[in-house]
Structure 1
Amino acid sequence: MSSHTTSRGWSSPILALLQGCGLGACDIAKLCISTPRLLDTNPMRVQAIVACAQNIGVPRGSRMFRHAMRAVASCGEEEIATRVEYLRNTFMWMDGEVGMAISKFPPLLNKSKESLQHRSEFLISEAGLEPVHIVQWLVILGHSLEGRLRPRYYAVKFLKENGLLKRDSSYYTVFKESDMTFKKKFIHPHKEVAPHLEKDYDAACKGEVLTNFRFT
């Protein structure tokens, strides 16, 4: 890394600045890969990005600081304010909730309005999650809506409606599990009574529009 950074001319002030933010070599490498313009940025601009990352509520040295820097690197203060307002309105969050959401999951600032709107409509209007619960379970906003959230919702809805779940599971559990674990918990135990469930679930994950899963 040292020879590369020296050849690019950013090893001394910028590297020292990033290290001073508590970023290790691995974090710095990932940040520069995801935000290559940072390599040739004026140190003053990097300082401004660091300050902006702190201003959205992510402290230096935290594991999310690299993600916060990436999130704000291409945004001005006005644009960040606009995106914060959009998040507040779209997910019906209070001021404290939207601030918590951004500090816990800075990549929210980089998601398109269309993507955020679709997630809000699904999670709040269709799945019935309370806005405050979404703040607590922000990891679900990083998952694919069509390839993960919606298929799992419909699979679990099918199980609930047909009395196949012995206990009610939160949608946080449903959405966060790896695909293998999700199938082990929610699909495979019902192979005999619902032999088409796994096939329908896999088809939904691939983009086929299936809102009704089959017994036969």
Structure 2
Amino acid sequence: MARAVDRSYSSGVRVAPVVLNVPVCSRPVFGFFKDKKESAASKDVAATRSGGGCSSGLCPAPFAVADYLVASCHLTPAQAVKASKVLSHLKSPSKPEAVLAFLSDLGLSDADVAAVVVYDPLLLCSEVDKTLAPRLAELRDLGLSPSQIARLVLVDPARFRRPTIISKLQYYVPLFGSFENLLQALKYNSYLLSSDLENVVKPNVALLRECGLGDCDIAKLCIPVPRLLTSKPERIQAMVARAEDVGVPRGSAMFRHALLAVAFLSEEKIAAKVEFLKKTFRWSEAEVAIAVAKLPVVLRNSQERLLRMSEFLMSEVGLEPEYIAHRPAMLACSLEARLKPRYYVVKFLKEHGLLKPNRSFYTAAQVSEKVFVEKFIRPHKEAAPRLAEDYAATLKGEVPTRFRLQ
């Protein structure tokens, strides 16, 4: 609008007013720009509520991954928070729901599903039709039953998703003799399913075969120590050399046991154990070599166990060091469940003239429980009717101060 400007001066002279065409704002200038911004923001919100696919005017809450993991996958809140960190890209439960249905069809329980998701959260992102169902069909073609496949998923769900699992199983199942044997090894070391077959596993198997081990021996060796197949070939070669160094030649019946005994033991630890055996049993270097060659696993026995064995066999039974060195199988027996109870029986029978003096304790210690009872307990039922009762007490650790005749 036009506004007249009074240009009168203090001198009293009147000057004609000048009319200026100045636009008049109904609000402050800065408020104008602020309102423009607020208006734009309001339009964005409105677009989000109405133009973003939300017909009701309000968008649904975003997919809460952690809550879903607790409610549908049976994870604990702590487990869910941890797993949700790798699943933050999930925007809906559609894929997880399909995967859970697949796992349920395999026969997995709620606890199994929870264990699988904790181990491999990304399994929930798998395409059932493109990945999981085809893998299931391939495993069935290998002859695996649904229950076996379910157990395989539990061992390593991440490997189950990958196509390489088929070629691995085609190699391992014949090597281990059965899927059950392989599964037992996988429980100790699932890296069998991820190790390089051509550059690691097969060279190790070839070396073990060169040592005179058949597939059955390799399976027996690798079920308790599956790392023998997945370690670098150079490391396995060093283990073979150490097994030979303790006095067990390749091709011998005890070589598998020697390899198991020295597996992942350093030369220093083996040398220290040899010195301990010499000191504890008063053995010479040659006697240690004899004992280790016959019972390589003695290198794995704890110092405490070996001390208790030496005290019993040498101090109580009265056996000579050389005698023990040539019969180290006694060291593999349980002290409380076999050696002590049978020694007390043999001692009792000899003291009462019920057993020939030349009948050795070693013989009594080596036979099976059934044979021991038949040869050392039952024949003396009339002469020593309490013998069976007293022997049973010793097996429970309740050693009588003196076995009773009546």
Relative to the length of structure 1, the TM-score reads 0.94
Report the equivalent of 1:187: 377
User: In the aligned structure 2, how far is the partner of 1:211 from the partner of 1:92?
Assistant: 30
Q: Percent identical across equivalent pairs?
A: 54
CA deviation digits over 1:98-155, x for unaligned, max 9?
1111111100000011110111000000000011111121111111111011101111
Q: Structure 1 residues 22-31 or 178-187, which shifts more?
A: 178-187
2:237 aligned to 37, 47, 58, which one?
A: 47
Contact map agreement 2:390 2:399 (CA 8 A) in 1:
no
Q: 1:211 and 1:32, CA in 2 relative to 1: closer, same or farther beyond 3 A?
A: farther
- Asked if residue 72 in structure 1 is aligned to residue 72 in structure 2, the reply is no
Q: Which residue of 203, 206, 209 corresponds with 2:393?
A: 203
Residue 42 of structure 1 deviates from its aligned partner by 0.2
What is the RMSD of the two structures over their aligned residues, measured on CA atoms? 1.6
Name the counterpart of 2:308.
Answer: 118
Specify the code of the residue in structure 2 equivalent to 1:136: H
Partner residue, 1:86: 276
Point out the more displaced range, 171-180 or 150-159: 171-180
Q: Whole-Å Cα distance in 2 between the matches of residues 169 and 47 of structure 1?
A: 45
Give the residue type in structure 2 aligned to 1:90: T
Q: Aligned letter for 1:68?
A: A
Structure 2 gap ranges (5+): 1-168, 176-191
Q: How far did residue 192 of structure 1 move?
A: 0.9
SS state of the match for residue 324, structure 2? helix
Higher mean displacement: 42-51 or 140-149: 140-149
Contact 1:38 1:46 in 2 (8 A): yes
* Pairing partner for 2:340 from 150, 174, 199: 150
1:17 paired to 2:207: yes
Work out whether residues 291 and 327 of structure 2, in 8 Å CA contact, stay in contact via their aligned partners in 1.
no
* Cα distance per residue 1:148-207 (max 9 Å; x no partner): 111011111111111222453011111111112112221111111211111211221233
Larger Cα-atom Rg: 2
* Secondary structure in 1 matching 2:272: helix
User: 2-side partners of 1:14 and 1:142: how far apart?
Assistant: 29
Q: Does 1:32 align with 2:200?
A: no
Task: Give the corresponding residue for 2:331.
Answer: 141
Between stretches 167-176 and 46-55, larger displacement belongs to 167-176
Q: TM-score, normalised by structure 2?
A: 0.51
In 1, Cα distance between equivalents of 2:355 and 2:261: 40
Asked whether the equivalents of residues 290 and 326 of structure 2 are also in contact (C-alpha less than 8 Å), the reply is: no
Checking the alignment, whether the CA contact within 8 Å between 1:2 and 1:11 is kept in structure 2 is no
Structure 1 residues 166 and 105 mapped into 2: Cα distance closer, same or farther (>3 Å)? closer
User: Which amino acid in the other structure matches residue 135 of structure 1?
Assistant: A
Contact 2:212 2:251 in 1 (8 A): yes
The one-letter code sitting in structure 1 at the alignment partner of 2:242 is: C
Give the SS at the match of 1:12.
helix
The one-letter amino acid of 1:97's match is E
Task: State the SS of the aligned residue for 1:34.
Answer: coil
The residue type equivalent to 2:266 in the other structure is G
| Alignment partner of 1:101 out of 284, 288, 291 | 291
Query: After the TM superposition, which residues 171-182 of structure 1 pair with which residues of structure 2 at under 5 Å, given as runs?
Result: 171-182=361-372
Local SS of the residue matching 1:129: coil
Supply the distance in 2 between the matched residues of 1:102 and 1:207 (Cα, whole angstroms).
30
Decide whether aligned partners of structure 1 residues 20 and 2 sit closer, same or farther in structure 2, where only a CA change above 3 A counts.
farther
Alignment gaps of 5+ in structure 1: none
Distance of 2:333 and 2:318 partners within structure 1: 18
Seen in structure 2, the aligned counterparts of structure 1 residues 55 and 34 have a Cα distance that, compared at 3 Å, is same
* RCO higher in structure (CA 8 A, sep ≥6): 1
Distance 2:365 2:295 in 1: 17
